[in-house]
């Protein structure tokens, strides 16, 4: 009880050690609360700022869809043999938009919130995660017209839709891992952004969005389709088309030849998430210093 004496005895008596910033903080609930607050306020800013906010948000994928539909379906006659290819096309575009939105927003997110990062101690990962969350909100909104088109084209609710949350969960895990990785990489390497733009452009064409996967199987071969499906984004889109639009779209399981084949894109998803999370955690203490 010699409280006036300095030294290690007292150190052990009092409070917690301050060791520097962390990625997740101590309380997952608080982390989530922070990410949620950041995402919802950004979301509000975007949509309540202007009357046409939500309208424009919808118009982006819809306009792209209209153009792509006119060119590929109308002129080139792609996917004519596929059931409801228009809906499948829109679904692909909306999923890709989610992917591009969250990764694109996360890359610069730490720099954009530099002011906060350098002045307040809070769980750093909340920033890229809030970008993914915000993109998820938009994704949810963009899915509404997809389902409207689906029902308009004669789609029906059926039992396979239960897969939907699973597929979306995998997609979100994949995108979150990438966002963590990219945002942390950008702190040290500023050319990550242009590189990523090119990569995502390549992914857009390298993923069966504009064309049905059956076209790849017919023109190039089964193994090419299998390689494409190792990409979690492609696997998610294909599985969504299979489960939600029409079972005539072969599921990745069917193309790999067994359901176990699905483990490849799922494994890659997990790998990317783990790598992204670990790299982000490693970089966390340095973010404030290197921005």
What single-letter DSSP state applies at residue 247? T
* 222 to 261: interface string for another protein, x by CB under 8 A: ----------------------------------------
Q: Using CB under 8 A, pick the residue from 54, 69, 72, 122 that binds another protein.
A: 122
Does the protein bind another protein through residue 52 (CB under 8 A)?
no
Provide the CB-side half-sphere exposure for 161 (13 A, CA).
8
Residues numbered 11 to 30 that lie near another protein (CB under 8 A) are: 11, 13-21, 25, 27, 29-30
Is the CB of residue 245 less than 8 Å from the CB of residue 88?
A: yes
Q: Which residue has the tokens 């994949």?
A: 174
C-alpha to C-alpha distance for 264 and 129, rounded to whole angstroms = 25
Q: Least distance to another protein from the beta carbon of 155, Å? A: 39
Contacts of 232 (CB under 8 A, 6+ apart): 170, 171, 174, 265, 266, 268, 269, 272
Binder of another protein out of 67, 120, 222, 263 (CB under 8 A) = 120
Which residues lie closer than 8 Å to 82 by C-beta, 6 or more apart? 88, 212, 214, 246, 248, 249
Among 28, 37, 71, 148, which residue interacts with another protein (rule: CB under 8 A)?
Answer: 37
Q: How far is the CB of 104 from another protein (least distance, A)?
A: 17
- Examine residue 189 and tell whether it contacts another protein (CB under 8 A): yes
Query: Could you give the CA distance from residue 25 to residue 211 in angstroms, rounded to a whole number?
Result: 44
Residue 66 interacts with another protein (CB under 8 A): yes or no:
no
Residues that bind another protein (CB under 8 A): 1, 3-4, 6, 10-11, 13-21, 25, 27, 29-30, 33-34, 37-38, 41, 44-45, 49, 113, 115-122, 185, 188-192, 195, 285, 288-289
């Amino acid at each position: 009880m010699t409280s006036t004496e300095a030294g290690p005895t007292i150190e052990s008596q009092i409070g917690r050690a301050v060791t520097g910033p962390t990625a997740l903080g101590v309380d997952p609930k608080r982390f989530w609360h922070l990410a949620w607050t950041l995402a919802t306020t950004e979301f509000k800013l975007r949509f309540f700022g202007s009357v046409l906010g939500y309208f424009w948000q919808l118009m982006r994928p819809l306009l792209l869809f209209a153009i792509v539909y006119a060119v590929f379906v109308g002129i080139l006659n792609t996917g004519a043999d596929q059931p409801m290819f228009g809906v499948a096309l829109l679904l692909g575009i909306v999923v890709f938009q989610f992917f591009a939105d969250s990764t694109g927003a996360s890359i610069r997110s730490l720099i954009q919130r530099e002011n906060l990062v350098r002045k307040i101690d809070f769980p750093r990962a909340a920033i890229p995660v809030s970008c993914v969350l915000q993109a998820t909100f938009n994704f949810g909104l963009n899915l509404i017209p997809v389902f409207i088109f689906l029902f308009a084209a004669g789609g029906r609710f059926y039992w396979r839709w239960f897969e939907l949350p699973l597929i979306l969960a995998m997609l979100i895990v994949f995108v979150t891992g990438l966002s963590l990785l990219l945002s942390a990489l950008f702190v040290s390497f500023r050319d990550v952004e242009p590189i990523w733009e090119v990569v995502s452009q390549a992914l857009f064409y390298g993923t069966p969005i504009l064309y049905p996967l059956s076209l790849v199987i017919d023109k190039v071969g089964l193994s090419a389709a299998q390689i494409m499906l190792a990409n979690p984004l492609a696997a998610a889109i294909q599985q969504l088309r299979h489960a939600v639009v029409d079972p005539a779209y072969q599921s990745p399981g069917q193309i790999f030849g067994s359901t176990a084949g699905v483990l490849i894109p799922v494994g890659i998803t997990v790998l990317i998430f783990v790598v992204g999370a670990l790299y982000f955690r490693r970089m966390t203490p340095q973010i404030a210093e290197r921005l």
